[in-house]
Structure 1
Amino acid sequence: MNLSRTENLAMLVAALSGVAWGLFWIPLRALDDAGITGVWAVVLFYVLPTLLLLPLIVVRRRRFIAGGWPLHCAGLLSGVALACYAGALVFTDVVRALLFFYLTPIWSTLLERLVLGEPITARRWGMIGLGLIGLLLILKIDTGFSGGPNLGDWMGAIAGIVWAMAAVCMKSDESGNGIDFTLSYFVWGSVAALLLAVLPLEGQTSAPDWETIGDVLPWILPVVLFLVIPPAIGIMWGATVLSPGLLAILFMTEISAGTVTAALWADEPFGVREVSGVILITAAGILEPLLLMCRRDP
């Protein structure tokens, strides 16, 4: 497979991974209904994949150790970032968490320039602008929201910046691969989620009992196997192939998928504003890849 095909496949995988994680609200809502609430639902979605992947960690233990600082720095940063993002969804309004986290394409593009020396094209800024306008439309930011930044807002903003740093680390590590980055991500993400769960933060909920966890295992295991682990592998592999800024733009498909499925299955609003936002975000996600593919064609 030549580089062009690899990049094309990585763009498709990253976009589809974003779509898959856009469905993540469904099992989270089901866990909340089952009594596993707040950050403890986040803990479950990190620890359970780590346990399922433990045999693979054992098999690849030498590579896992030999990866050293570059591998585990990327895993630590990505784990902390997405644990903080999930925490932001708990400690602030979903609208605010999404807004602060999805400034990520800006941070990723700036770090890409500063660390990797990649030029920032007008096309890239245009795609970021389209995506952010679509996000603002969906989130109805023009109606405003009250109050200054709270804990969850800061967690969302920090998550976006730290994820941008993680993407740059993975892109710059030429010896890294998506499987080992995924394993490191789940291990360090489990640590971050557990630390977040035990911190004395306002709004924390109590840990679920073992009986409650046992009741959800029959359906949560397939969710983890099909909706959590494969997209994580896709995103981590995509981060080794694509520029951090482009990866962040492609991952905004999460917002579109979440908006559409929430309208279909949760009776959330889906009018002209939401349709326009989805179209703009989708355009941001596909126009740059299409332009890149056209540019490579002879």
Structure 2
Amino acid sequence: MTGFKTEHVAMASVALSGLVWGIFWIPLRALDDNGITGIWAIVLFYLVPAILLLPVMMMRWRRLLRLGWPLHVAGMLAGTALVLYAASLVFTDIVRALLFYYLTPLWSTLLARIMIREAITGARLGTIALALSGLLLILGFDSGFAGMLRAGDWMGIASGIVWAIAAVWMKSDAGGNGFDFTLSYFFWGSMAALLLTALPLEGAGHIPGWSAIWDVLPWIVPFVLFLVIPPAFAVMWGATVLSPGLLAILFMTEISAGTITAAIWAHEPIGLRDLAGVVLITGAGMWEPVVQMYRAKLQPG
């Protein structure tokens, strides 16, 4: 497969994965309804795939050890980022969690400037302006900011920042590949989810009983096999092929899927302010590539 085709397959895979993960809140809420509440629902969603992938980890243990800390730092960062994102879906409104996480293009731009001294162009200033405008709208700048952010909101913001670092790390690691990153991601994600139970949050201390876990296994195992592990591989592989900024842009399909499904099935009120935030933050992700395409068209020949 040529590099051109590989990039296009990666783009389609990441965009499709975003659509699938846009409904990730549904099984989390279903676990809550079955007595597996709060953080423990997230723990289960990371431990189950880690256990299912354990035979593969054992088969590749020499390679996983040989790749060393570059691989495992990537897994720690990606696992921590997406565990925090999953927690934000539990501890704040679905739409707020989505929008705070998808400030990632903003963090990626600032991180590139700080870490590798990448110039902030006019197009990137437009990205920052759109993202910040969307954030201000969601927070309600006209009514003050005091007490506006909940624990889940902070988790959503933190997850976007950590994921931006993880994406840069995976793209720069020439020795890693999507498969090994996926194994590392689920292992370290499980560790991060278990550590999250130590925080003084609602649902952190209530360990679910074995009967509750046994009752949900018939549907959670197929869900993990078909709708958790494959999208995770697509995203981790995409991170090795695509630029971190483009990766974040393509994954924004999750905003649309999450917002629409939350409005239909979770009956979460989505007002004009939230919709405007969706438009602005999505526009932040799309702004720079659109500007580049427009400039390319203006060039002669």
> So what's the TM-score if we normalise by structure 2?
0.83
- Structure 1 counterpart of 2:51, which letter? L
Q: Provide the C-alpha distance between the structure 2 equivalents of 1:27 and 1:261, rounded to a whole number of angstroms.
A: 12
Q: Provide the C-alpha distance between the structure 1 equivalents of 2:175 and 2:100, rounded to a whole number of angstroms.
A: 32
Matched residue SS, 1:161 = helix
* 1:19 CA displacement: 1.5
- Structure 1 counterpart of 2:215, which letter? D
CA deviation string 1:164-209 (max 9, x = no partner): 1111110110121111111101000101101111x15142341111
Moved more, 85-94 or 253-262: 85-94
Q: Provide the C-alpha distance between the structure 1 equivalents of 2:161 and 2:250, rounded to a whole number of angstroms.
A: 17
Moved more, 51-60 or 152-161: 152-161
Question: Quick check: 1:256–1:282 contact (8 Å CA) kept in 2?
Answer: no
Q: Provide the C-alpha distance between the structure 2 equivalents of 1:274 and 1:140, rounded to a whole number of angstroms.
A: 10
Report matched runs for 1:230-245 at 5 Å: 230-245=230-245
Unaligned runs of 5+ in 2: none
Moved more, 204-213 or 285-294: 285-294
CA deviation string 1:117-141 (max 9, x = no partner): 5544433443555566567667877
Q: What's the counterpart of residue 50 of structure 2?
A: 50
Question: Quick check: 2:74–2:185 contact (8 Å CA) kept in 1?
Answer: yes
- Identical aligned residues as a percent: 64
RMSD: 3.1
- Tell me: CA distance 1:26–1:141, structure 2 relative to 1, closer, same or farther (3 Å): farther
Matched residue SS, 2:176 = coil
Matched residue SS, 1:67 = helix
- Tell me: CA distance 1:278–1:158, structure 2 relative to 1, closer, same or farther (3 Å): closer
* 1:148 CA displacement: 5.6
Q: Provide the C-alpha distance between the structure 1 equivalents of 2:229 and 2:147, rounded to a whole number of angstroms.
A: 37
Q: Provide the C-alpha distance between the structure 2 equivalents of 1:193 and 1:11, rounded to a whole number of angstroms.
A: 28
* 1:43 CA displacement: 0.2
* 1:242 CA displacement: 1.8
* 1:109 CA displacement: 2.0
1:176 aligns with 2:176: yes
Q: How many residues end up aligned between the 2 structures?
A: 297
- Structure 2 counterpart of 1:15, which letter? A
- Tell me: CA distance 1:65–1:228, structure 2 relative to 1, closer, same or farther (3 Å): same
- Tell me: CA distance 1:188–1:31, structure 2 relative to 1, closer, same or farther (3 Å): same
- Structure 2 counterpart of 1:201, which letter? P
1:68 aligns with 2:93: no
Moved more, 133-142 or 234-243: 133-142
Q: Provide the C-alpha distance between the structure 2 equivalents of 1:68 and 1:278, rounded to a whole number of angstroms.
A: 39
Matched residue SS, 1:6 = helix
Question: Quick check: 1:260–1:270 contact (8 Å CA) kept in 2?
Answer: no
Q: What's the counterpart of residue 201 of structure 1?
A: 200
* 1:252 CA displacement: 2.4
- Structure 1 counterpart of 2:200, which letter? L
Question: Quick check: 2:99–2:277 contact (8 Å CA) kept in 1?
Answer: no
Moved more, 233-242 or 109-118: 109-118
Moved more, 211-220 or 91-100: 91-100
> So what's the TM-score if we normalise by structure 1?
0.84
Question: Quick check: 1:111–1:168 contact (8 Å CA) kept in 2?
Answer: no
Q: What's the counterpart of residue 264 of structure 2?
A: 264
CA deviation string 1:206-254 (max 9, x = no partner): 1111111111111111211122111111111111122222222322222
Q: Provide the C-alpha distance between the structure 2 equivalents of 1:209 and 1:44, rounded to a whole number of angstroms.
A: 12
